[in-house]
Amino acid sequence: MLQKTQDLERGVPEETVNAGTASRGTMFSFLSPAVITLAVIGIAPLVFAIWTSMRDYNLTRLQRTPFVGLENYATVLTDSVFWDAMGRTFLLLILALPVQIAAGLGIALILHRPGLTFLKTIARLSLVIPMATTYAVVGLLGQIMFNLKYGVVNQLLGFVGIAPVNWLGHPTNAFAAIVFWDVWQWTPFCALVLLAGLTTVPGEIEEAARLETKSWWTVLRYVQLPFLIPGLTAVLILRTADTLKQFDMVFTMTRGGPGSSTELISLLIQRVGFRAFDQGLASAQAMILLVITIVLSRLYIRFFYREV
Amino acid sequence: MSMKSTIKGLMGGAALALALSPVTAFAWSLEEAAEPYAGTTVDVVFLLRPGYEAAKKMLPEFEEKTGIKVNVTDMPYENALGEQVRDFVAGGDFDIALVDLVWIGNFAENEWIVPAEKFINDPALADPDLDLDDFFPLVLDAFGSWGGTLYGLPFDNYSGLLFYNSCMLEEAGFDGPPQTWTELKDEYGPALTKDGKYAFALQSKRNETQSADSFARVLWPFGGSFLDDEFRSNLMSEESQAGLKFRQDLMQYMPEGIVAYDHAEAVNALAQGDVAMITEWSSFYSTLKNPDTSTIGDCLAVAPEPEGPAGRKPALGGFSLAVASQADENEQAAAWLFIQWITSKENAAEYLELGGVPARQSVYEMEGVAEKYDFVPALVESWQEGVPEFRPRFAEWPEITEIVQEWGTKMMLGEVSTEEGAKEIGDRMEAVLEEAGYYDGEKPLVQ
């Protein structure tokens, strides 16, 4: 009633208001495809995964899938292999994300400066290329480029007198290679998001700030950064989620090896679920990963987004 | 019932069925047998390997003769098990199962494949010239049968062989390949590892290659094994440890990063003259011989794998083709006709010529074959001395191989000692076997 009164006060014709409130059926019919699709491709598999995670559910022993309660969860939580994989995943995040944000911010600030319009357009377009490259292809390229004997990376190092590095056959080097590749692929994403954030800074405020100080850091810290916080939060959430489910690139490049040195959590889940066929255990691992992702996202929003 | 007696029984049954049938042996023809199934399509998985390319070249002839369409799905080895398991669980399209010898227990126990006797005893479908006795007995037993029942016919057949660069060996003063693993390490290793070249490459990537080509390869010749008679881990035994320690020692004569080497890398290392010797599957002969893919040309030579203290016991691997249970009756019949045809005595020579490795004894006895294909004498010798359970073939192998791959690689990287790694594998392997019911008598101790 209050809404209707307000609408009438604003001069909205009564017919329109009626049409808006009376067409629940229309609203449902517009919403239902999305809701049904989400239910089918999102909710139903999730419920099935929860159900599977509480069973001894192995694809090669489907005659026998007894209910085991939380046993799979207990196995996962006490399994050093799971926590090692989780540790490697977070290590990748901790090593790659700050570099991506710092480099992305640097690129964004350069592109935000006035002048050189044509070159900046070219640069912006070029930034899309790594992101647009299929993850699996990036991994395959990495496999070739980091090849000990024939790879272009070692060839380039050779030009400056550095001996060939055994990138993919050495645990630490292989991990460094996937960090490098992740930074290469996702720095442009950070740059574009932060560039978009910089364009939201009102021109007159930025101009006034520059008249007040010559320090670029002061302008960045007190004028531009507040406008970048929403973008940074989005970057943090998206990149964290992406890293936690990072699979294609690493799978095609190292398959988690050598040893377990690049076996991230998603590769472990795939290995358990689709190579050892223990879908029950793999589902439990996936559910725990989901909970960790949700908790991290909430933390990001709580500690970063609130400052805006 | 033993495998041999089962196969003999099947052969007797087939002969009797043919004798009693109004369709006499000489009257049987593929064209007539296939007539009721013309227009049927059968789906099968093929790998990206030379034997499958050979079979694909032969397919048009089969399709023309029978009117049966063979729909091939190509995929790398690593995907083949998962794809097929998902297809069989979901009641999908595959009418023919491509069965690695370590998958046969899994496929048979889940009843995803049909015992071959159904077709062998059907005179309308059984080729009178099928001649199961012509297959190498070890290969037919290991690749095609489980629990005394024959399911598949050997199709893509491997034995581990020693491929070597005879020119490099001659230059280093050797007039032949090493006869024993110890000789390979102690004499050939130091002499051939120099100037950026290495004596040996043992492909050890963390996938089935680590389990089959690397880990198991050093267990058996030294007298070790995965399991003892009670199905408990045998990896802590003196013999198994000797083999695993030998591998650690041998690594000093292998290229850096050998744990990242899969088949392609090992074959390429020999093909480019970077290493002097590799132990690889017989099926890679055509790749190494082909001047488009190999630079060593006439320097390529082949020998059986070296012997260990317990004998040669070379790596054994390969695939059979079996009829999938999920196929309908017509598809099953059409599938059998294809399997029988592609693995037949009649086609073995052509299959060999096109780059495949048939398991028919008769083809290797043909005049000129041993001279034309350098690998034949070594292969025939290896198939006399192989171990069917080189890798256990039970349904639990997919879980166990993952454990072996992980800890086997950690051993090679020096992250754990051979004792620590063997203990981890043993404990985890026994846990899998216990859960499967081997220790409470629920399942027979068959591997």
Q: Are residues B207 and B263 in the same domain?
A: yes
Q: Are residues B182 and B308 in the same domain?
A: yes
Does the beta carbon of B209 lie under 8 angstroms from any beta carbon of chain A? no
Would you state the pLDDT for residue B26? 54
Does the beta carbon of B431 lie under 8 angstroms from any beta carbon of chain A? no
Task: Answer yes or no: do A258 and B257 touch at CB < 8 A.
Answer: yes
Contact residues on chain B for A56, CB-CB shorter than 8 A: 435
How far is A175 from A179, CA to CA, in rounded Å?
6
Mapping DSSP onto H, E and C, the string for chain A reads: CHHHHHHHHCCCCHHHHHHHHHCHHHHHHHHHHHHHHHHHHHHHHHHHHHHHHCECCEHHHCCCCCECCCHHHHHHHCCHHHHHHHHHHHHHHHHHHHHHHHHHHHHHHHHHCCCCHHHHHHHHHHHHHHHHCCHHHHHHHHHHHCCCCCCHHHHHHHHCCCCCCCCCCCHHHHHHHHHHHHHHHHHHHHHHHHHHHHHCCCHHHHHHHHHHCCCHHHHHHHHHHHHHHHHHHHHHHHHHHHHHCCCHHHHHHCCCCCCCCCCCHHHHHHHHHHHCCEHHHHHHHHHHHHHHHHHHHHHHHHHCHHHC
Nearest Cα to Cα of residue A60 among B86, B99, B2? B86
Q: Are residues B93 and B232 in the same domain?
A: no
**Chain A residue closest in CA terms to B87:** A59
DSSP B185: I
How far is A18 from A248, CA to CA, in rounded Å?
51
Mean local confidence (pLDDT), A123-144: 91
Residue spans of the domains in chain A: they are 2-53, 79-307
Does the beta carbon of A276 lie under 8 angstroms from any beta carbon of chain B? yes
Nearest to A258 among B259, B399, B402 (CB): B259
Neighbours of B347 (CB within 10 A): 21
Would you state the pLDDT for residue A18? 53
Domain end residue (candidates: B350, B367, B385): B385
Contact residues on chain B for A258, CB-CB shorter than 8 A: 205-206, 257, 259-260, 409, 413
Q: Give the lowest-confidence range in A18-32, A258-272, B6-20, B283-297.
A: B6-20
Q: How far is A173 from chain B (nearest CA, A)?
A: 11
How far is A146 from A169, CA to CA, in rounded Å?
10
Q: Give the lowest-confidence range in A47-51, A278-282, B6-10, B303-307.
A: B6-10
Q: Are residues B82 and B104 in the same domain?
A: yes
Nearest to B206 among A61, A148, A256 (CB): A256
CB A143 within 8 A of CB A152: no
Q: How far is B402 from chain A (nearest CA, A)?
A: 7
Would you state the pLDDT for residue B34? 96
Q: Are residues B66 and B165 in the same domain?
A: no
Q: Are residues B142 and B219 in the same domain?
A: no
Contact residues on chain B for A168, CB-CB shorter than 8 A: 257, 260
Contact residues on chain A for B259, CB-CB shorter than 8 A: 169, 257-259
pTM of the model: 0.80
CA distances from B9 to B1, B4, B85, B333 (A): 10, 8, 31, 22
Q: Are residues B124 and B203 in the same domain?
A: no
What is the tally of structural domains in chain B? Answer: 2
Does the beta carbon of A257 lie under 8 angstroms from any beta carbon of chain B? yes
Does the beta carbon of B445 lie under 8 angstroms from any beta carbon of chain A? no
Q: Are residues B77 and B225 in the same domain?
A: no
Would you state the pLDDT for residue B207? 87
Residue of A55, A60, A170 for testing the chain B interface, max B β-carbons within 10 Å: A60
Q: Can you read off the two tokens belonging to residue A254? A: 């190292």
Q: Are residues B218 and B341 in the same domain?
A: no
Contact residues on chain B for A166, CB-CB shorter than 8 A: 256-257
CATH of A79-307, one of 1.10.3720.10, 3.30.1280.10, 3.30.479.30, 1.10.1740.110: 1.10.3720.10
Does the beta carbon of B187 lie under 8 angstroms from any beta carbon of chain A? no
Nearest Cα to Cα of residue A261 among B251, B400, B259? B259
Q: Are residues B308 and B402 in the same domain?
A: yes
Residue B444 lies in a domain: no
Does the beta carbon of B110 lie under 8 angstroms from any beta carbon of chain A? yes
Would you state the pLDDT for residue A62? 83
A185: pLDDT strictly greater than 50: yes
Task: Answer yes or no: do A168 and B257 touch at CB < 8 A.
Answer: yes
Neighbours of B53 (CB within 10 A): 16
Residue of A166, A275, A278, A285 for testing the chain B interface, max B β-carbons within 10 Å: A275
How far is B279 from B244, CA to CA, in rounded Å?
16
pLDDT in tens, chain B (447 residues): 444 444 445 545 444 444 444 444 458 999 999 999 999 999 999 999 889 999 999 999 999 999 999 999 999 988 999 999 999 999 999 999 999 999 999 999 999 999 999 999 999 999 999 999 999 999 999 999 999 999 999 999 988 999 999 999 999 999 999 999 999 999 999 999 999 899 999 999 988 899 999 999 999 999 999 999 999 999 999 999 999 999 999 999 999 889 989 998 999 999 999 999 999 998 888 889 888 888 898 999 999 999 999 999 998 889 999 999 999 999 999 999 999 999 999 999 999 999 899 999 999 999 989 888 888 888 888 888 788 888 999 988 988 999 999 999 999 999 999 999 999 999 999 999 998 889 988 888 888
A 47-76: CB under 8 A from B: 56, 59-63
Beta bridge partners of B264: none
CA distances from A176 to A173, A251, B97, B406, B427 (A): 5, 15, 41, 20, 32
Any idea which residue has 């398959």 for tokens? A255
**Chain B residue closest in CA terms to A172:** B413
Nearest Cα to Cα of residue B49 among B264, B261, B258, B216? B264
A5: pLDDT strictly greater than 80: no
Task: Answer yes or no: do B259 and A166 touch at CB < 8 A.
Answer: no
Neighbours of B214 (CB within 10 A): 26
Residue B442 lies in a domain: no
Contact residues on chain A for B263, CB-CB shorter than 8 A: none
Does the beta carbon of B185 lie under 8 angstroms from any beta carbon of chain A? no
Q: What is the pLDDT confidence band of residue A20, given thresholds at 50, 70 and 90?
A: low
Task: Answer yes or no: do A60 and B415 touch at CB < 8 A.
Answer: no
B 367-406: CB under 8 A from A: 395, 398-399, 402, 406
**Residue B375 belongs to domain spanning:** 3-157+317-385
Task: Answer yes or no: do B257 and A166 touch at CB < 8 A.
Answer: yes
Would you state the pLDDT for residue B151? 97
Distance of CA A304 to the CA centre of its chain: 17
Side-chain half-sphere CA neighbours of B211 within 13 A:
21
A 132-191: CB under 8 A from B: 148-149, 166, 168-171, 174
Query: How many Cβ pairs within 8 Å bridge chains A and B?
Result: 77
Contact residues on chain B for A260, CB-CB shorter than 8 A: 406, 409-410
Would you state the pLDDT for residue A297? 83
Contact residues on chain B for A271, CB-CB shorter than 8 A: 402
Q: Are residues B404 and B309 in the same domain?
A: yes
Q: What is the pLDDT confidence band of residue A266, given thresholds at 50, 70 and 90?
A: very high
Task: Answer yes or no: do A277 and B110 touch at CB < 8 A.
Answer: no
| Crossing angle between the packed helical segments A117-132 and A80-112, to the nearest 10 degrees | 160
How far is B343 from B129, CA to CA, in rounded Å?
11
Nearest to A168 among B89, B260, B410 (CB): B260
Task: Answer yes or no: do B110 and A278 touch at CB < 8 A.
Answer: no
Residue B445 lies in a domain: no
Task: Answer yes or no: do A275 and B205 touch at CB < 8 A.
Answer: no
Q: How far is A260 from chain B (nearest CA, A)?
A: 7
B218: domain CATH number is 3.40.190.10
Would you state the pLDDT for residue A1? 45
Would you state the pLDDT for residue A292? 92
Nearest Cα to Cα of residue B70 among B79, B80, B60? B60
Strands B300-304 and B152-165: antiparallel
**Chain B residue closest in CA terms to A273:** B82
DSSP B116: T
CB A283 within 8 A of CB A203: no
Would you state the pLDDT for residue B24? 45
Q: How far is B285 from chain A (nearest CA, A)?
A: 23
Residue B153 lies in a domain: yes
Residue B79 lies in a domain: yes
Residue B446 lies in a domain: no
Would you state the pLDDT for residue A237? 87
Q: How far is A137 from chain B (nearest CA, A)?
A: 16
Task: Answer yes or no: do A257 and B413 touch at CB < 8 A.
Answer: no
Q: What is the pLDDT confidence band of residue A10, given thresholds at 50, 70 and 90?
A: low
How far is B338 from B58, CA to CA, in rounded Å?
11
Q: Are residues B144 and B191 in the same domain?
A: no
Contact residues on chain B for A169, CB-CB shorter than 8 A: 256-261
Q: How far is A264 from chain B (nearest CA, A)?
A: 14
How far is B120 from B123, CA to CA, in rounded Å?
7
Give the three-class secondary structure for B197: strand
Q: What is the DSSP string of B30-46?
A: HHHHHGGGTT-EEEEEE
Q: How far is A170 from chain B (nearest CA, A)?
A: 6
Task: Answer yes or no: do B260 and A257 touch at CB < 8 A.
Answer: yes
Task: Answer yes or no: do A60 and B398 touch at CB < 8 A.
Answer: yes
